[in-house]
Structure 1
Amino acid sequence: MKQKILNYQPFNEQEEKDKELLLKVIEQKDVLTRKNTIGHFTVSCWVLNQSHDKVLMCYHKIYNSWCWLGGHVDGQKDFKKVALKEFQEESGLKHVQFLKDDPFSIEVLTVNGHIKNGVYVSSHLHYNITYLMEADDQEKLIIKEDENKGLQWFDFEEALKASTEPWLVENVYKKLNKKIEKGYH
């Protein structure tokens, strides 16, 4: 993954700064696992329908917000494989393809302290790699009840309004939509 990050061409200043940080932390001990309680790698999926005019979002139980799909890499080095697994587990969809082989976006995300499976998890960072994917919006969605309360296809503007996480909306979701509009896929 280090080479993919090195080769990544930042879209904006946020990605430039976050790329620098990702390259610093990629060599840290346990950064691919949650054992590193300061920060660890995650993947996210920005999933478009076949017409590329809607995005799939889930209503995440911990964040109480509509958000992208994804999860922790949990020691895996093939981040694309993790993204595919997380997407399929969280959506129930089996027919999906990557629109871009390389990462579509990179972010360093702050995660507030929260309760997961009855245990408190302290605030920490997610060193996130986002993949752009396409799925069939007619295929039946299946909620992963231990993680989300809902799944829904939104047009790009609706997706921004549905999320109750202002920082993600302003700094990530808008950026992802802008990249799609400008043909970065």
Structure 2
Amino acid sequence: MKHIDLLEAFRPGCEQEERDLELILSLAHADPLGILTRRSLTAHLTPSGLIFNPDGSRVLLVRHNLYGAWCWTGGHADGDPDLGAVAVREAEEETGVPVKLLSPAIAALDILPVYGHRKNGTYVSAHLHLCPSFVLIAKEEVPPRALPSENSGAQWFNLADIREASGEAWMYPIYEKLIARAKRYR
């Protein structure tokens, strides 16, 4: 499914998602390829996923190099209009664990600020990540591993420990949405 079709099919669960969807769709219709690639320097699509174990009691998080916090997986679409496939690919690259989509539908939608920073020796200006999120499933039997270019670790956490592990207060409401929506898919 093309990225615009997938975005248009998303049903917001709160006012924040309604407003973010309006903005993302306006950007998508104005420049469909720009938000799908990094050609748009101000905002681009970065599908993410929260990885649950099969019974939904634990999540697999990575220790993000840039933010120094335990967080979900995700990355730039880089031209791929299959946003769910991007979320799966990023999760597998960042953890070394095979994952699958619990549902092909976008589970949550957020716009996240990225502050100016250096990456690979080059300055990256502040911009927005247009973040469709997916619920992913993985078996705990496969030991996770870090992807040093992206993170310094990958580890399973009990749901009750996500807030403390993350340390990013602004991210916890997103995780809460994904936890609640994952329960509806089951």
Q: Place the TM-score, normalised by the shorter chain, in its bin.
A: over 0.9
- Aligned partner letter, 1:50: P
Aligned Cα root-mean-square deviation (Å): 1.4
Residue of structure 1 in register with 2:142 after alignment? 139
1:172 aligned onto 2:174: yes
Aligned residue number for residue 86 of structure 1: 90
Amino acid across the alignment from 1:146: S
Give the C-alpha shift of residue 184 in structure 1.
4.5
SS at match of 2:7: helix
Letter in structure 1 aligned against 2:156: W
Matches within 5 A, 1:95-110: 96-110=99-113
User: For residue 89 of structure 1, what is the amino acid of its counterpart?
Assistant: E
Alpha-carbon distance, 1:162 to partner: 0.9
Residues 81-117 of structure 1 show CA distances to partners (whole Å, capped at 9, x for unaligned) of 21121111111112x2211111111111111111111
* Paired residue type of 1:82: V
Identify the residue that residue 159 of structure 2 maps to in structure 1.
156
Question: Mind listing any 5+ residue stretches in structure 2 that lack a counterpart?
Answer: none
Q: Report deviation, 1:174.
A: 2.0
Q: Match of 1:70?
A: 74
User: How much has 1:25 moved relative to structure 2?
Assistant: 0.8
Alignment partner of 1:111 out of 106, 114, 117:
114
Kindly provide the CA deviation profile for residues 30-59 of structure 1, in whole angstroms up to 9, marking residues without a partner as x: 111112110100110111001110111100
Q: Which residue of 1 aligns with 2:45?
A: 41
Long gaps (5+) in structure 1: none
Match status 1:54 vs 2:66: no
Task: Give the number of the structure whose residues are more often helix, by fraction.
Answer: 2
Deviation beyond 6 Å, 4+ runs, structure 1: none
SS in structure 1 of the partner of residue 47 of structure 2: strand
Give, in whole Å, the separation in 2 of the partners of 1:108 and 1:147.
21
Residue identity (%): 36
Change in CA separation of 1:180 and 1:77 when aligned onto 2, cut-off 3 Å: closer
Determine if contact 1:113/1:121 at 8 Å carries over to the other structure. Answer: yes
Normalised to the residue count of structure 2, the TM-score between the two structures is 0.92
Counting matched residue pairs gives: 182
Partners of 1:184 and 1:160 in 2: CA distance? 22
In 2: Cα distance, 1:7 partner to 1:17 partner = 15
Which amino acid letter does the alignment assign opposite residue 22 of structure 2?
Answer: E
